[in-house]
Chains A and B, each alone.
Chain A
């Protein structure tokens, strides 16, 4: 593995050395690598972090041969987090450097293209750059096997091209130049993450840029992302890694991978990428949407986990007071409450810090992904089913799944069907009010100590909050069907009912009617309440979920009382997923 911040030999080369500057993965800046040979320096991706740039300059200035050897700044692609610090680095070094990037990337940065370089995500304008050496040009496919490139005052390099054919029969362009006395550096065109993405090889060391990260949630779908190109490139890279005896593969973000793991990671990434259909492009509007959505969702998940954890705590309290300390501890062991609380608090702190300072777009959604993945690892809803209402567990699962899908770039859609809403609600409301634990089951268990304790646990845990609430239902006849995913829809109704009941409702009237073409589900409570206030922070989130069904949530005030109305379109008018 590479040792950070120190010079070390590059395996497979006669005399080249590398100085890695690898950082914890973040959206702010990529990793950087300095390579030196007897005759030149290469800097791969200067990155965007001021401190990192100063560090690179410092290493270069104190390195033997500084100012005497040409410096090539090679960009794996034109994204801002990889190139922002380039001009600053050249200023600090105090002498010209040759900026090298694939042809399409050169065009983007020389045109100051904020979209393809993603500088728009950082709310910054791309500084002016002049590219010295355009790599892997379209014409190189047709030209003779080498091309001389002149740059600077009187400098020249020779680029040698080769068209490689991978095991899948796909051709891709490779280019190389001499390094030092007897080494070679290779460039491979591997578009997909961006049209200009390249991989670089020297000896047995491969630099893959962001290629292996390109299918991750929040990354797939960025401008210039292309699924088919990405799959081709990943396949080509897998072939190459077998041909070239790669010992180590560096990434644009995060620590390098050992060569023997590369093939399996590439195969997994290919399979995952193949499943990415109909990704929504990550433009600025979508980024703002994701930012908002991530915060709303984490708020909602935080509350649900408070409820789940609180139920477990409450149950363990009751068991302790019944001298069932062992059972009480087993209950608490079902969920690592402190770990989840830690993750959610970490996110909240992050949001506050980023709201106060410079905000990079996508920072919040990407942080939310990290937190959700951590929670997903430790949240085992199978363990909890015996003591937590399944609807509550399902809501957490849906939220996590929805979030990852939306971050991935999938559209907010439900796989629903046409349903008779009155029948759905009758079934739902009947189930809602059914006692979870039957008295006869409890009494029957008294002969077996273990069975009795388990029934007692269920009785305490699954207490029905609706048992003293009167719920009535009326429906207009002949109301058209609606398009919903029944389970999801009912889970959202549960979220609304819980808020209303815990706000003190003793009676809830549910009424289905039709107004013009729309189907209305109206909720009224006794005593009357201000539903806007009752739902408070939940409103935005619940509205968003109902929108997925093509429904609107309205809190209406009338002369007589306040009502909560869910307005749905008839199924015939809804977008149907094929």
Chain B
């Protein structure tokens, strides 16, 4: 998976490209950890080029949500491709994460 980090007005933007699964989870976790340590107040994940998210990927997203909630920071997902968006809706993740679809 390819991961770009940039800083936006309202926090960190992580753009994921490829697959978030068992092989790339650790890379994602490290990136989030580094941004938290740098004091980022909110996180936006751009999924425009993320083609698949596995159960492991969902787990790291959930762990990230829990960590950020404790610190009163928020996580938003934008531009999810239809199949990825569908997974978030079917699993009920949309109840605790703000997520939007790719237009």
Interface residues in chain A, defined as those with a beta carbon under 8 Å from any beta carbon in chain B:
302-303, 305-311, 313-315, 317-318, 337-338, 340-342, 344-345, 348-349, 460, 463, 465, 498-499, 501-504, 533-534, 536-538
The answer to whether A502 and B89 have CB atoms under 8 Å apart is yes
Query: A337-B55, A498-B86, A498-B90 given. 14 additional CB < 8 A pairs?
Result: A303-B52, A303-B83, A305-B54, A313-B93, A314-B92, A338-B55, A340-B55, A341-B54, A341-B55, A499-B86, A503-B82, A503-B86, A503-B101, A534-B82
Secondary structure of the A contact surface, majority rule: helix
Q: How many residue-residue contacts, CB under 8 A, span A and B?
A: 106
- Residue of B58, B85, B90 touching A313 (CB-CB under 8 A): B58
List chain A residues, Cβ under 8 A from B81: 536
Secondary structure of the B contact surface, majority rule: helix
Q: How far is the CA of A306 from the CA of B65 in the complex (A)?
A: 18
The answer to whether B83 and A348 have CB atoms under 8 Å apart is no
Q: How far is the CB of B50 from chain A (nearest CB, A)?
A: 12
Q: How far is the CA of A119 from the CA of B57 in the complex (A)?
A: 41
The answer to whether A310 and B90 have CB atoms under 8 Å apart is yes
Q: Which of B6-14, B18-26, B41-49 contacts A (4 or more CB under 8 A)?
A: B18-26
B59 at interface, CB cutoff 8 A: yes
B31 at interface, CB cutoff 8 A: no
The answer to whether A499 and B92 have CB atoms under 8 Å apart is no
B16 at interface, CB cutoff 8 A: no
Given A349-B23, A537-B83, also A344-B54 (CB < 8 A): yes
- Residue of B21, B90, B96 touching A345 (CB-CB under 8 A): B21
Q: How far is the CB of B28 from chain A (nearest CB, A)?
A: 13
The answer to whether B93 and A306 have CB atoms under 8 Å apart is no
Q: How far is the CA of A537 from the CA of B57 in the complex (A)?
A: 19
B5 at interface, CB cutoff 8 A: no
Q: How far is the CB of B31 from chain A (nearest CB, A)?
A: 18
The answer to whether B83 and A341 have CB atoms under 8 Å apart is no
The answer to whether A306 and B55 have CB atoms under 8 Å apart is yes
Interface residues of B toward A: which range?
20 to 34
The answer to whether B93 and A310 have CB atoms under 8 Å apart is yes
The answer to whether B59 and A313 have CB atoms under 8 Å apart is yes
Q: How far is the CB of B94 from chain A (nearest CB, A)?
A: 9
Q: How far is the CA of A318 from the CA of B95 in the complex (A)?
A: 10
Given A338-B22, A342-B22, A344-B21, also A536-B93 (CB < 8 A): no
Q: How far is the CA of A337 from the CA of B86 in the complex (A)?
A: 19
Q: How far is the CA of A306 from the CA of B86 in the complex (A)?
A: 11
Q: How far is the CA of A317 from the CA of B92 in the complex (A)?
A: 10
Q: How far is the CB of B80 from chain A (nearest CB, A)?
A: 10
The answer to whether A348 and B91 have CB atoms under 8 Å apart is no
Contact with A along B50-89 (1 / 0, CB 8 A): 0011111111001001100000000000000111011111
Q: 21 A-B residue contacts at CB 8 Å?
A: A302-B54, A303-B83, A306-B53, A307-B87, A310-B58, A313-B58, A313-B91, A314-B62, A314-B93, A315-B92, A317-B62, A337-B55, A338-B22, A341-B54, A341-B55, A341-B57, A342-B22, A349-B23, A503-B85, A536-B83, A537-B83
